[in-house]
Amino acid sequence: MKSAPRIASTDRPKSASPVSQNRHPRPAKPTKILVRRRVSLPVPAVAIASLLAALPACATAGHDEHAKHQPSHPHSRENELVGRAVLPAATFAPGFTSGRQLGTAPVNGQPVPFINKQPVQGFSAVLDIGRGEFLAMADNGFGSMENSADFYLRVYRIRPHFETPRGGSGKIDVLGFIELRDPDKKIPFTITEQLTTDRYLTGADFDIESMQRAPDGTLWFGDEFGPFLIHTDATGKVLEAPSPFPTTTTPAKKSARHKTLSTRKPAPCA
């Protein structure tokens, strides 16, 4: 039995300050997100579908022969899809040009690089923050450290209009975003935006896969490069040096791969 990929979550930043409307889109195939106790992410069109139900003991969404003979929990019931909403793969947000290292041929039908825009697609974590809105965290970029130095790490605020038997458009509105950044130089190793003022974090610096919001409103992100835990305020500003996991190597050596550092000053968030 295969378990659906788990989704890590976080809550909406309390401040809309560096919530910007200027930077990120990404040429990934649409990704379907089924929200229940666990979330599955198949690949054609970012669809967030709300699924209500607790998984029966020893059962998965499928009905294989093995599951038929497992005892069911007295309070369990079948998984039920109650709505879905789709975010097209070709969804972009204003920002610096991205995808310069993707070659010259179109990617999934999209010409590259993406001029003055950043990809929104490619969510690794989604959190219900109430009032019909979600925080959706983009992954680290275009698939590797080497080609993602111009993909800025963002958390988007989205509002799905779930399509249900009672109606709904099935569309998703992108309302804004925050960007992870390190203006106070808490990160002790070289990053892509090392020489800039705001020191925005990119997919060449960290591979963020999960996020959670603490009771005080600050955000925690799980990174795969270190691996690290990254702690930011509600606006995405790094609060302390990334916390490494014990007995693992740090990305300090990996940072040597950054052959060039950005010297431009990113535009301020709107």
Asked if residue 75 has pLDDT above 80, the reply is no
Question: What is the Cα 89 distance to its own chain's centre?
Answer: 14
Question: How confident is the model at residue 48, as a pLDDT?
Answer: 41
Q: What pLDDT, in 10s, does the model give residues 17-54?
A: 444 444 444 444 454 444 433 333 333 334 444 333 33
Structural domain count of the chain: 1
For residue 203, give every residue at least 6 positions away whose Cβ sits within 8 Å of its Cβ, in sequence order, or none: 139, 140, 141, 142, 145, 148, 149, 151, 152, 153
161-164: Cβ within 8 A, 24+ apart: 161/85, 162/49, 162/50, 162/82, 162/83, 162/84, 162/85, 163/83, 163/84, 163/85, 164/82, 164/83
The answer to whether residue 112 sits within a structural domain is: yes
Average pLDDT over residues 243-267: 53
Q: What pLDDT, in 10s, does the model give residues 89-138?
A: 899 999 999 999 999 999 888 999 999 999 998 899 998 999 999 999 99
The answer to whether residue 180 sits within a structural domain is: yes
The answer to whether residue 127 sits within a structural domain is: yes
The answer to whether residue 158 sits within a structural domain is: yes
The answer to whether residue 265 sits within a structural domain is: no
What residues make up the domain containing 211?
A: 32-69+76-257
In DSSP notation, 175-197 reads EEEEE-B-TT----S--TTTTSS
The answer to whether residue 242 sits within a structural domain is: yes
The answer to whether residue 13 sits within a structural domain is: no
